[in-house]
Amino acid sequence: MQNFTGFYTLARKETKRVFRIWRQTLIPPMITTVLYFFIFGKLIGTRIGDMDGVSYMQFIAPGLIMMSAITAAYGNTASSFFLSKYAKHIEELLVSPLSTHTIIAGYVMGSIVRAGIIGVLVTSVAFCFVSYDVHSWLVVITIMLMTITMFALAGLINAIYAKSFDEINLIPTFILTPLTYLGGVFYSISLLSDFWQGVSKFNPIMYMINGFRYGFLGISDVPILYTFAMLSGFILILYSLVYYLIEKGIGLRS
């Protein structure tokens, strides 16, 4: 009961933070998605034509939804946890009787709420531009939740090691954004040469986007089982690392 109360309090705090600054957390992804649809869907998409048997706008929509959710999940835990560390609030959690599992779960739940709401909002925007006979809602929801969890954990690791606000933005700017754009959001990797197809298969985000696209359209450049296997493996590894870092107080205790 003590850990449940702690989890509920942390999750509630993170959720209230999302809604308190909703102009920063919820509105920008919707505006960005609308611009993507107008530029890549309406203007460029009409010249490209079909992609893997579907319209170009239908093809890119799942990737745009996933891109927004990834950014939100990572940014939420990275910024929130670092602010707690910067303001010394994290020390109160470390000396409290709450378990490390509860602390991690509370912050991850905040990302699930924020990225989940953004996923729903961006999906609603997508449905204003394209129509779908969704192939499998179970796959869509499962991959979305697993992806959010994975990047929320990655954001925690970034926050633990970061020593300044600038270091919070380094990973999203120089690693996360390039990997997302090169993950097949706007193209099928079947269009690439054999060499670059091989290189693309080392990009984990490519599997997530293709798995999510499979849930919507039933098409994917990689087997759907590879997506679930990769997500499961990354979640296990990242969770273990976050747990170890918090337990040892690395980057948290002076």
Each residue's pLDDT tens digit in the chain (254 positions)? 777 888 998 899 989 988 888 888 889 888 988 888 888 777 777 777 788 788 888 899 999 999 999 999 999 999 999 998 888 888 888 888 889 999 999 999 999 999 999 999 999 988 888 887 889 999 999 999 999 999 999 999 999 999 888 888 888 888 888 898 888 888 888 888 888 888 898 999 999 999 999 999 999 999 999 999 999 999 999 999 999 999 998 888 75
pTM of the entire predicted model? 0.92
Contact 217, 130 (CB under 8 A): no
**Spatial contact of 119 and 68, defined as CB atoms under 8 Å apart:** yes
Q: Do residues 90 and 252 touch, judged by C-beta distance below 8 A?
A: yes
Look up residue 238 and give its two tokens.
């990242």
Distance of alpha carbon 116 from alpha carbon 187, whole angstroms: 25
166-184 as b/e: b if 16+ CB within 10 A: eebeebbeeebeeebebbb
pLDDT at 157: 95
What 8-state DSSP symbol labels residue 228?
Answer: H
Phi, psi (deg, nearest 5) at residue 51: -135, 115
Q: How far apart are CA 4 and CA 101, in angstroms?
A: 11
What per-residue confidence (pLDDT) applies to 92? Answer: 84
